[in-house]
């Protein structure tokens, strides 16, 4: 999993880590762990909440997470 791609997606959506935390109900620290690659296996429940907060389909979020850095799908 490439957490840096999640961070890039969040930034492209114009969203701060605080705002993603508010919208998803996931702690800011846990989201930060995911983005920094310290948490590499978030549950499907966490991914669903992140996808909904980011306004993308779950499948797209998973594709982003599994793509090489800066090579993720661009259709949001």
Domain spans of the chain, in order of start: 3-66
Per residue in 25-39, pLDDT tens?
999 999 999 999 999
Is 4 or 71 the better-scoring residue by pLDDT? 4
Per residue in 38-59, pLDDT tens?
999 999 999 999 999 999 999 9
**Structural tokens at position 60:** 């797209």
Q: Which residues contact 69 (CB under 8 A, 6 or more apart)?
A: 2, 4, 5
Of 59, 53, 57, residue with least CA distance to 21: 53
* Assigned CATH topology for domain 3-66: 434 Repressor (Amino-terminal Domain) (1.10.260)
Predicted TM-score of the model (pTM): 0.87
């Amino acid at each position: 999993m490439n957490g840096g791609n999640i961070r890039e997606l969040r930034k492209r959506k114009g969203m701060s880590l605080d705002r993603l935390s508010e919208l998803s109900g996931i702690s800011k620290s846990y989201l930060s762990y995911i983005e920094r690659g310290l948490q590499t296996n978030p549950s499907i429940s966490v991914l669903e909440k992140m996808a909904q907060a980011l306004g993308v389909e779950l499948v797209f979020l998973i594709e982003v997470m599994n793509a090489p850095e800066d090579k993720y799908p661009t259709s949001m």
